[in-house]
Amino acid sequence: MDWKLFASTFTAIFLAEMGDKTQLATLSLAAGRSRWVVFAASASALVATSAVAVLAGEAIARNVPPLWVKRAAGLAFLAMGAWMLIGREG
C-alpha cells in the first residue's frame, strides 16, 4: 500500500469535509437521535460518493492524460475561488 498517497488523500478529504454542509447536516441529524445510526449512515454515504469519484476518475484517466486532469482541476478550483471572492452584490 502507498502510505504517502493514503495519508495525503486522508488529510485532504478530512480538511475539506471539516465544517462543510455535510458535517453540519450530520450534526443536526444526530441531535436527539441514535448517533451510531447517523454515524453509520453518514460514513456509508461518504464511502459511496468517494467510490463514485474514484470510478469516474479512473474512467477519465483512461482517456485523458493525468497532466490535463490536474490542469483542469486546478482551473476549476481557481474559477470557483474567483467566483467566491467576487460573489454577488446584494
pTM: 0.67
pLDDT of residue 89: 59
- Give the residue among 27, 39, 68, 11 at the shortest CA–CA distance from 3: 11
Query: pLDDT by residue (tens digit) across 56-89?
Result: 989 998 999 989 999 999 999 999 989 888 876 5
Query: pLDDT by residue (tens digit) across 38-60?
Result: 999 999 999 999 999 999 989 99
